[in-house]
Structure formats: C-alpha cells, structure tokens
Amino acid sequence: MIQLRSIWQQGIKIGLIGGVSAVLLALIGMVVAFSQRDIISNVISMGHTLLLLVAVFMGYLAAKRTARAEPLWILVNSFISGLVVGSLVALLVIVGSLINLRKVFVNAMPVLYELLTFKQGAQVGVLLLLGAGALSGVLAGVFFLSPKLIRRMLIIPVTGIVGAGVLQDMLRPTFALWGPLAIINEWLYTANGLTIHGAVSLFILIAAIIYFWARKGGDVRTGFQRLPSKSQRVLKMTSLLILLFVLLVLPQVLGLFLSEVLTIVGLYVLLGLGLNIVVGYAGLLDLGYVAFFAIGAYTMAILTSPELGFFSLSFWGALPVAIIMGVISGVFLGIPVLKMRGDYLAIATLGFGEIIRILVLSDFLRPWLGGAQGIGKIPKASIFGFEFAGPQQIYYLILAGCFLVAFVSVRLRDSRLGRAWMAVREDEDVAQALGVNLVATKLLAFATGAAFSAISGAIFASKLGSVYPHSFNIMISINVVCLIIVGGMGSIPGVIVGSIALVGLPELLREFAEYRLLVYGAALVVMMLVKPEGLWPSEIRRRELHGEEFVETTKETSEEKAPASAQ
C-alpha cells in the first residue's frame, strides 16, 4: 500500500509540474505565437505540438521514476501524470471562461482559448484536453516500456516530422531550386505545414532506415573493417570530398538569408571550439569568454580601420596580432585564477569579461577604442582579388577557420597536453601527484581557448565592418557555454550540433526570438534529465554517464564475435 501510494504521488507531482509549465507557456503567449505555423497542415500546429510534448515528456518522466515497478503501475503512473497536465490546462480554460484574465495576463485572449479547446467550445474542449492529456501519458508509458529499437523507430521519425514542419520556410525554397526536389516539395508541403501523406511517408522512410541500420549496420561496419586498408582510406577520402563539396556549394544553393545564418553559426562554432578546450577538455568553467572575442575584434579594428589612422594594416596582417593578443590575454586571465575551482573560478572569469567591456566603454580609452561609438570602416578580408564581402563570400573564410581550429583541437585532444587537460578535469590533486604541471597546463588551456576566440572576433569585426562595446555582452559567453553543454562537453561534433540547435534554429525562427532564453532554459533542463551527456557526446563522456549500458554493449559485441571466430 505504501509503495502504491508513492507511485500515485510521483505521478501527481510530476503532472503538476508539467501542468504548471503548460499553463505558463499559454499565458506568456508562446502557444499563440507558435500556432501561426502548422507542423501538419490543418492537423496540428507548433503551439499544440508544444503542449503535447510537455504532456508526453512528463508522462515519460513519471514512468522513469517508477521504472522498478510492475508495467501496469508504470502505465498507471504515466496516465495520472498526463491526466493532471490536461486537467490544469482545462482548468485554465474554465477559469478563463468565467473570469477576464486579461487584466492580469495580457496574452489570455479569446484566440488562446480557441486554440486550447480546438475551436470546440469550453465544455467539449475541456473533455478533449482531459482525454489528450491522459492519452499522451499512456503513450509515454508505452514508449518507455517498449524495446530500445522501437523507441528509436518512434522518436527519431517524429523528431524528423516536427523538424521538417518547423523548418518549412527554409526547406521549401531549397527544394524548389531543382526539378526532382521540386516534386518532393509538392508531395511533402502545403502553403503552411506538411501534407498528411507527406508526413506519413516521411515517418515510414525514417523508421525503415533506422530498422535497416539496426539489423544490418553491424554487417556494414564489419564489411568495411574487412576491406583492405587502402580501400578504407579511399572510401574515407571520398566521403570527406563529398562533404567538402556540399559545404562549398551550400551558400550558392541556400541563398543570402540562409548564408547569413550559416555565418553566425560558424562564428559560434569557432567560439565553441575554443571554449571546449577550456571547459570540455580542462574542466575550467570560464564565463568571461566573451572578453577574448572582444579583444580579437578590437585588435582587428585598431590595426585595420582608417577611422583611427594608427596602422591601416590588411586583414591578414592584423590576424596574427589579434591571435597573439588573445593568447596574452588568456595567460593574463589565467595567472590570478590558477588556484580557483568551480563556482569561484566562474565568478572570477565573469568579472574579467565585465572589466574588458567597461574598459572599452570608458572615456579614458575613447581616443584608442572609440568608446560607446565604437570603431567603423574596418576593411573586408580579401585574397588574390577575391573579397569576402557578403555572407555568401565570408562563409568560406569562416569555414576555413572552423576547419583549422577543429584540426588543431583534434590534434591537441590526442596529444600529451590533451591527456594532461583531461587529467586536470577529472581530479587536479591526482593529476598533480602524477606529475602534471598544473600551472603550465591551465595557462595553456586558457591561452589556446583565447586564441580561438580571438580568431572568431577578428572575423566578426571584418564581417560587420564595425565594432561596438554592446556587441560583447555576457550573453555571448552564456550562449557558448549552453551550446557546449547541449552538444556534449569535450566533443568537437557536439560543438557543431549544439551551435546549429541553439544558434541556427533561433535565427531561422526569428518571429519567436523573444522566447529564445526560455527555449534555452527548457532545452538545458530536458538535456540534463534525458541526455545529460549531450546530443553528440565524446566516448569518454558517454562511458562516464552510461557505464552499465557501455558494458552491456561490449558484452553483446564480444558474444557476436565469438561464434564468428569459432567458425
């Protein structure tokens, strides 16, 4: 009886959290704003999808909290959680029909209640909300109890459909550029959202690919490993050349606006790869990372802008100086915080970032740094007469910088210095006892990360043609830390994925820009609960957080290989 009571209590508590979250999303206007775009035309909008995801996620959490109970009680707990979520949203509709909530909540408009009740009126709408919440909870419980392959065949296709609906404004013009893709465009999309048959086809296609790879992926990998080393190298080089070709033609295919989005994502990739050295490899939480970004940008501006008239160097002449200034500032920051750890280190580095911003704004340095008016007339980068002027041109400069920084990061990760950084990240005292020089190791981490950030700042200054102090606020540091956490700390592909998820998507959805910080917070909470290692974690991070699963996978692999070797 006590265990049964605890199961019910878990479901009610989690449901209350989800219900309050859903009501909050409705009252701040997020549901109405997101409902302007359909995922599946005339079937479900982004606003309804948002509420549905809340109910499903809370049902999944309720099932996870009672994972050791009987399957029936897991489903009951998920059902209770989903029902509570639907009940609180239904309560909002009832209260809103009796009281004018707009005096307190501006977004409690009639259109909100129409969306919540599916335009069926308050009485029918309340029943629909209760049923939708309960059904979402049960589906989440069934999803939790399903085998791993079934879960993947459900979650990935559904994510693909939601992504295709959210990014329809980007995908539709891209598909329309080429004849065969234009046919796919007509099959998949209407004027607002996916077609029903297009969504079903997309679901079946993605699920079939996942099923095939789960059954035959091991054979494909084994067949690749059995190929001669020369053939393996040829296949790898061919794949890299295809990827390089796609990256080179992207700006010409996507157009001006999407090329601008790619340049912003690329700049954050550069910043993320630098902070990944400091936070992901060495475990040093740096919240003042924007300072090095500003130092790189202002160094480029001072050395190249004719507005100040000091040096008037070219971009390529000023770039090495900007990198050196970044390294010096990284060492300058690292020396006073060598003995700090954790929160103390974060606060100290945060102060360093604010110091740089205030110095740039000061009247004392205005003749050299421009003060609040900034520095303009920064020339564009050019090489052999080709000027990196617009987004479609400067994309190639940023792409080259990303390749260079990623290559250096990979080499450093696998080097003796990289292993020393990881030892410091795990335990400073043990690393020092094993002979790691903490002073040199930490200073090199700060200097390397600052150099990468300075490169990004220099390209940023050349891209805009001007720099202003307000372009380098603390939110840049927060954004870079967030993308590393979401992508996976210590993982280079994770930095790229995190940049696309947290920087690229908000840029593509500019009409929802006011909810960006809320989405950041929600994404981090969900990430910590569902996938704490990140979207694309490193192998070490995956083993640390999923040691039991890693051991089971290793055992399965060894058991599969044993019969083959016996034969």
**Position 178 confidence tier, pLDDT thresholds 50, 70, 90:** low
Q: pLDDT at position 188, please?
A: 86
**Position 171 confidence tier, pLDDT thresholds 50, 70, 90:** confident
pLDDT tops 70 at residue 292: yes
Q: Say which range, 54-58, 352-356, 519-523, has the weakest mean pLDDT.
A: 519-523
pLDDT tops 60 at residue 114: yes
Q: pLDDT at position 474, please?
A: 87
Q: Which two tokens stand for residue 509?
A: 């959805």
Rg (CA), the chain: 26
Q: pLDDT at position 285, please?
A: 87
Q: pLDDT at position 183, please?
A: 78
Q: pLDDT at position 566, please?
A: 42
Q: pLDDT at position 545, please?
A: 66
Q: pLDDT at position 550, please?
A: 46
Q: Return the closest-CA partner of residue 353 out of 456, 477, 483.
A: 477
**Position 414 confidence tier, pLDDT thresholds 50, 70, 90:** confident
Q: Return the closest-CA partner of residue 270 out of 425, 380, 407.
A: 407
Largest interatomic CA distance in the chain: 81
Q: pLDDT at position 559, please?
A: 46
What confidence tens digit (pLDDT) does each residue in 448-459 have?
A: 999 999 999 999
Q: Return the closest-CA partner of residue 375 out of 288, 267, 291, 462.
A: 462
pLDDT tops 70 at residue 405: yes
Burial class (CB in 10 A: 0-12, 13-18, 19+), 473: middle
What confidence tens digit (pLDDT) does each residue in 221-240 have?
A: 788 778 888 888 888 889 88
Q: Which two tokens stand for residue 441?
A: 């190791």
pLDDT tops 90 at residue 216: no
Q: pLDDT at position 4, please?
A: 59
**Position 325 confidence tier, pLDDT thresholds 50, 70, 90:** very high
Assess contact for 338 and 438: CB atoms under 8 A.
yes
| 549-553-558 Cα angle (round to 5) | 150
Q: Which two tokens stand for residue 16?
A: 């209350």
Looking at per-residue pLDDT, the higher value among 529 and 401 belongs to 401
Mean local confidence (pLDDT), 280-288: 88
What confidence tens digit (pLDDT) does each residue in 249-273 have?
A: 888 877 788 889 899 999 999 999 9
Q: pLDDT at position 205, please?
A: 92
Q: Return the closest-CA partner of residue 560 out of 329, 219, 254, 255.
A: 219
Q: pLDDT at position 177, please?
A: 63
Mean pLDDT of the chain, nearest integer: 85
Q: Which two tokens stand for residue 208?
A: 């079939």
**Position 558 confidence tier, pLDDT thresholds 50, 70, 90:** very low
Mean local confidence (pLDDT), 440-466: 93
Q: pLDDT at position 7, please?
A: 67
What confidence tens digit (pLDDT) does each residue in 3-61 have?
A: 556 667 888 899 999 999 999 989 988 888 888 888 998 888 888 998 999 999 999 98
Q: Say which range, 220-224, 383-387, 420-424, has the weakest mean pLDDT.
A: 220-224
Query: Taking the model in full, what pTM does it have?
Result: 0.83
Assess contact for 72 and 4: CB atoms under 8 A.
no
Q: Distance between CA atoms of 461 and 415, rounded to whole angstroms?
A: 32
CB atoms closer than 10 angstroms to residue 384: 4
Q: Which two tokens stand for residue 292?
A: 């090095």
The three-class DSSP label of residue 414 is coil
The three-class DSSP label of residue 306 is coil
Q: Say which range, 6-15, 104-113, 521-530, has the weakest mean pLDDT.
A: 521-530
Burial class (CB in 10 A: 0-12, 13-18, 19+), 319: buried
301: left (phi over 0), alpha (psi -120 to 50) or beta: alpha
Q: Say which range, 45-54, 167-176, 488-497, has the weakest mean pLDDT.
A: 167-176
Percent of the chain surpassing pLDDT 90 = 32
